[in-house]
Structure 1
């Protein structure tokens, strides 16, 4: 009864969202574009919701259109981690994709609380023309555990709410939605017009001739025992040394964001019945590191943790780490991973003489959400005019760090981003100017110290400090 009441409340809330969207949509709906066919596939296999959207858009107006708007309801605004779009070229085996720029769009006359993204077309869509666009967007923290607390022997149930009809500022002639669940264990799902279920897939549609901002709220309550691994905060420091090494230090604050564990934890039951006891917990993490990694260590507040395995080859390195205890819902763990890399694999020189670091953004842990990621690139002392090039919006600022034998300190380029998913693991660059003469600063300082110490010793041996005549 309590579960049904919660689902009803969520459904009422979704209806309220729908009414708020319709409140001011009339002035925004465009008569220039029309979606001829739309297919949406929602993958709920992990705790990161992946949505694949294929749109065939037609220009019914008289002037060319250079962009296509995507609309998201207020319930998804804070959970959007990534939006990508591309135009397919070719057919079947020869099919390729041309990426499109996607930017956040401000629509002052849009419905309250809705968020828009603008897909910029490579060439303006002429009047009467059509184009097919494929979109991928990801949502984090969109699967809500219910019940909120489970015992060690219970499976984890979550619910996901969306709309059976695609929210769009354009008229949609035909559309269909497929939702994939991790298993066939579905407690309940909203049954509206043209609903069908087969195995792990729920189909909504096809629907014909839907007006702009049509909305049909749905809720799916299903079993999902995949690890809900969330890094609340990750600080990644990349220190550049022109003497030939790149040192990486990563500090993690990890939490299991699934249904909270209740009762007493029994390790005997956990080990004797692994297929039943703690099925939603996890005790292993896989970190994908760059090739040719060396000097790897893994430790927490207590000290070094030896339960880790490193596999390396010429193309990749995989570090399998095991925390001191398995993580159940609500449990947390803090640890540090450090390793070294050869400098020549990541530091290059541009055509204008500037040096630049080419490194991977994001978190190396597989299938993990990072609520807040901070990357600190520590440049060598004497570096000037630093600048960062990142393929998506991030916050940037500069700091100064003092290390051994530093005089003026080292410039640190700080990059911050929230709501990071594995697809953010893209290369980024940090450019800076550096005069090689600064590489001699520390050796000369050490040589000067030893030289003056030697002079002091010689002077001491040749000076008579006695008071006798």
Structure 2
């Protein structure tokens, strides 16, 4: 029995050695085939809210003989699952005259990627020739990347979270020098991994500088710190935008909100919560701010019980801010569902192109500040008789068509449905829905009402003049 166990251990050791050797040979092969290297990499990670923002500056040099037209960005698979936004731009000019030119970023496949690394290809505006350098500015945003620990806290406790990453930038290229800065919301840090040189200054951690790092270098780090910011997550948001050519746009939004931070344990004391608001329930939130389109009117806010009057609206020609308060403060794990509705002037959002096609220009994303939306569904209800709808969205979304019947509809209204997961405030960009419409359809409902009233009048006159009595 002991001999079999020894043989098993030897086999396991040989398998492990073979795996390490194969990975090392893969790194050497991928490293030798690269024509690019990173002269300097600076990464700044913002952990001040529950939405993680990473700003990455890469100075890239072409050390090969042939021009390079793309740059690869590498991500561990655990981060790709939570990647909400990835943008890249190349800088031109210096200091005050510096400009940023956006670049196309697309997912790509690399054969024999180590440890299931995921890649995105950044297409350069101009090929990078031998000996030339270029500076890339990369922004990527991660959601659900802060892990509450402990997972449950009482009303009087602060919220502590984990953040996992690497002290070194994961890259398929050789990096001459790199530095990582991590910013946290408070100076209270329970612990953090040290990868020398590592320095701490108040609310910032500095890893590096590290010199001469091979491709795919990875040094795992764990930062355990206090973060009492509300983890507002909308599990599902359904926004219905209904267009009426008679002069208005009606918007109705259904929210399913949850506090995604450390779950609340124990009994909730409202007396303690109101008497010590800075200490009791620090990670909770009692109000939300929604930045609505300008010139809103007929605003209402209600839940399943009925209308909620604890809201404040500030509006002008440039912006509209709606501050709402749920019926109860939200602690970790608590949920709330509610509806926000409002009207908008038609001329501010509906336009006509030179080809005679009409199009709606509206905002995508969630209007609540600092909120993550797990699933967002935008429904654009076109007027009856609309044809050939064509949505234009600045990022990838799922699209489909539906039909909705409303008052006095005959053939129904076309509904353009746009669906996207993992939505953050940076997705609050404008999108367009183009469609064709014949003006004759605007007379359909008035004609139907006219005919209905005429038939009712004829029936009334006939009823009055008809003698239905049996005897004369």
Instruction: Identify the TM-score tier after normalising by the shorter chain.
Output: over 0.9
Structure 1 counterpart of 2:417? 414
- 1:74-112 Cα offsets, whole Å, 9 max, x none, are 221211000011112232233221111111222233224
Q: CA RMSD in A?
A: 1.5
Q: Say which is worse superposed, 455-464 or 436-445, in terms of deviation.
A: 455-464
**Residue 175, structure 1, aligned to residue 178, structure 2:** yes
Q: Is residue 397 from structure 1 mapped to residue 400 from structure 2 by the alignment?
A: yes
Q: Which of 193, 204, 214 is the equivalent residue of 1:190? A: 193
Task: Indicate the residue corresponding to 2:277 in structure 1.
Answer: 274
Long gaps (5+) in structure 2:
1-18
Q: Does 1:108 align with 2:122?
A: no
Which of 59, 68, 80 is the matching residue for 1:77? 80
Report whether the alignment pairs 1:246 with 2:262: no
Partners of 1:77 and 1:25 lie apart in 2 by 21
1:309-388 residue pairs with structure 2 within 5 A?
309-388=312-391
> Which residue does the alignment assign to 2:230?
227
Q: Give the match for residue 304 of structure 1.
A: 307
Question: C-alpha deviations, 1:117-156, integer Å up to 9, x for none?
Answer: 1111111112221100000000000000000000000000
Q: Which residue of 2 aligns with 1:87?
A: 90
Residue 458 of structure 1 aligns to a residue in which SS?
Answer: helix
Stretches (4+) displaced over 3 A: 18-30
Q: Does 1:63 align with 2:61?
A: no
1:287 alignment counterpart: 290
Q: CA deviation at 1:22?
A: 6.5
Matched, 1:130 2:139: no
Residues 29-48 of structure 1: pairs in structure 2 closer than 5 A? 29=31, 30-48=33-51
Partners of 1:293 and 1:419 lie apart in 2 by 27
Judging changes above 3 Å, is the alpha-carbon distance between structure 1 residues 24 and 368 closer, same or farther for their aligned structure 2 residues? farther
CA distance in 1, matches of 2:25, 2:158: 41
Mapped partners of 2:452, 2:365: distance in 1: 42
1:460 deviates by 2.1
| 2:433 paired with 1:427 | no
Q: Cα distance 1:414–1:26, how it changes in 2: closer, same or farther (>3 A)?
A: farther
Unpaired segments of 5 or more residues in structure 1?
Answer: 1-17
Distance 2:160 2:247 in 1: 50
Task: Supply the distance in 2 between the matched residues of 1:24 and 1:377 (Cα, whole angstroms).
Answer: 50
TM-score by length of 2: 0.93
Question: Within 1, Cα distance between the matches of 2:47 and 2:294?
Answer: 32
Once the two structures are superposed, what CA deviation does each residue of 1:167-209 show, in whole Å capped at 9, x if it has no partner? Answer: 0011111111001111110000001121111111111111111
Structure 2 distance, partners of 1:218, 1:453, is: 78
Residue 122 of structure 1 aligns to a residue whose secondary structure is strand
Q: Which residue of 2 aligns with 1:452?
A: 455
| CA–CA distance in structure 2, aligned partners of residues 132 and 401 of structure 1 | 50
Measured against aligned partners, the alpha-carbon deviations of 1:306-355 in whole angstroms (never above 9, x if no partner) come to 00000012210000000000000000000000000001000011121110
- 1:222 deviates by 0.3
Is 452-461 or 26-35 further displaced after alignment?
A: 26-35
Distance in structure 2 (CA, Å) of the matches to 1:265 and 1:371: 28
How many positions carry a matched residue from both structures? 452
The residue that corresponds to 2:152 in the other structure is 149
Aligned position for 2:9? none
